[in-house]
Amino acid sequence: MTGSVIETRGLTKRYRGGHLAVDRLDLEVPAGSVFGFLGPNGSGKTTTIRMLMGLIEPTSGTATVLGGAMPRAARAVLPRVGALIEGPAPYGHLSGRDNLLRYDSADPAADPRTRRARVTAALDRVGLAAAASRKTKAYSLGMKQRLGLAVALLQPRSLLVLDEPTNGLDPQGMREIRALIRELAADGTTVFLSSHLLDEIEQVCTHAAVMNRGALIAQGPVAELAARSRGRLAVTTPDTAEAVRVLEERGAVAVCATGDLVTAEPLATDPADVNAALVRAGVRVRAFGLERASLEDAFVALTGEGFDVAG
């Protein structure tokens, strides 16, 4: 598929009582992309996903998924979509394998002749093969997240929609899920990934959209979004206290010293003049320059605020 896999125009959701959860959202998700849907908790991400999947009606505006207008085209579209939304809810008295068998048997498009083989393959792909026979009431949150991903992977999908897929995972589990997402994208699946973790989006996504308080702030290729802001000034020196003093005297803000590294928001003056001032003050400068701008820098520049980068 070429073009946009997801497209919204003026998509709006206002709940009873007047709360505006999503405000006139115009979103375009290119086919074949790993698209990061980024924003703090409460920014409207999950509400948007629920409208895209036809789970709730928008107040106004339109949402098109895989060429179908949602929610009207849900019955035709959703068999081509794998989704993990608001965390999995397995049957606790059943094993991981039996949960997947039950989910698969409820899919009218699933071939019962290959059911057990596909369940085994999905469990193995998300790293649950060794726990397949355990009852899911004994699963950790991270294991339940993996099981939810396995449900989404039981059939080949044109689009995979994941809402906070690394929630509850340890660092190794997060790395494994990111690798899996990259594999799926390489196989031609478009992945729509909602997260409040900036570094997660930056590591795995090709494109991103930034939400804040229900509104779309920016969208585009991740590299272009990061390039909208300047990276922080970075000075490597054993004389950190003196470097901090010199930078603050020259008007630097958000100055931070960690080990032998001093960083600050870039100054308007020529960086060469700043470096010369440090040297004149006796600061032994081992390295000096601007760090590469990150998605976090872009978000702060766009919104004037930050949010939990590490989760």
pLDDT attached to residue 302: 62
Long-range contact pairs involving 142-146 (C-beta distance under 8 Å, separation at least 24): 142/168, 142/169, 142/170, 142/173, 143/96, 144/87, 144/88, 144/90, 144/168, 145/84, 145/87, 145/88, 145/169, 145/177, 146/173, 146/177
CATH number of the domain within which 94 lies: 3.40.50.300
- 243/262 Cα distance (integer angstroms): 7
Task: Specify whether 269 is located in the same domain as 188.
Answer: no
Domain assignment of residue 282, given as a range: 233-291
Task: Specify whether 147 is located in the same domain as 282.
Answer: no
Task: Specify whether 222 is located in the same domain as 241.
Answer: no
In a domain, 273, yes or no: yes
Output helix, strand, coil percentages for the chain, rounded to the nearest 5. 35, 25, 35
Task: Specify whether 9 is located in the same domain as 27.
Answer: yes
- 70/12 Cα distance (integer angstroms): 13
Task: Specify whether 164 is located in the same domain as 221.
Answer: yes
Task: Specify whether 111 is located in the same domain as 192.
Answer: yes
In a domain, 305, yes or no: no
- What is the biggest distance separating any 2 CA atoms in the chain, rounded to whole angstroms? 78
- Asked whether the CA dihedral 124, 129, 133, 138 is positive or negative, the reply is negative
Question: Among residues 181, 210, 226, which one ends one of the domains?
Answer: 226
What's the structural domain count of the chain?
Answer: 2
**Token pair for residue 199?**
């570094």
- 11/105 Cα distance (integer angstroms): 34
Task: Specify whether 48 is located in the same domain as 113.
Answer: yes
Q: Who's near 47: CB < 8 A, 6+ residues apart?
A: 13, 21, 22, 56
- Neighbouring C-beta atoms of residue 252, cutoff 10 Å: 20
Q: Is residue 252 within 8 Å of 271, Cβ to Cβ?
A: no
Task: Specify whether 44 is located in the same domain as 106.
Answer: yes
190 by DSSP, 3-state: which? Answer: strand
pLDDT attached to residue 305: 56
- 87/143 Cα distance (integer angstroms): 11
Task: Specify whether 207 is located in the same domain as 252.
Answer: no
Strand segments (E) across the chain: 4-14, 20-30, 34-38, 60-65, 68-70, 81-84, 159-163, 190-195, 207-212, 215-221, 233-236, 256-258, 261-264, 287-290
In a domain, 297, yes or no: no
- 187/178 Cα distance (integer angstroms): 14
- Neighbouring C-beta atoms of residue 207, cutoff 10 Å: 22
pTM of the full structure: 0.76
Enclosing H/E stretch for 100: helix 96-105
In a domain, 310, yes or no: no
pLDDT attached to residue 308: 47
Read off the DSSP letter of residue 230.
P
- 93/214 Cα distance (integer angstroms): 38
**Per-10-residue mean pLDDT, the chain, length 311:** 87 94 96 91 90 95 96 93 83 96 90 96 93 95 89 92 85 86 90 85 90 90 76 91 95 91 88 94 93 67 52 36
In a domain, 139, yes or no: yes
In a domain, 299, yes or no: no
- 166/172 Cα distance (integer angstroms): 10
Task: Specify whether 273 is located in the same domain as 190.
Answer: no
pLDDT attached to residue 29: 97
pLDDT attached to residue 311: 36
CATH number of the domain within which 254 lies: 3.30.70
Task: Specify whether 22 is located in the same domain as 126.
Answer: yes
In a domain, 101, yes or no: yes
pLDDT attached to residue 167: 79
Rg of the chain over Cα atoms, rounded to whole angstroms, equals: 23
Task: Specify whether 213 is located in the same domain as 271.
Answer: no
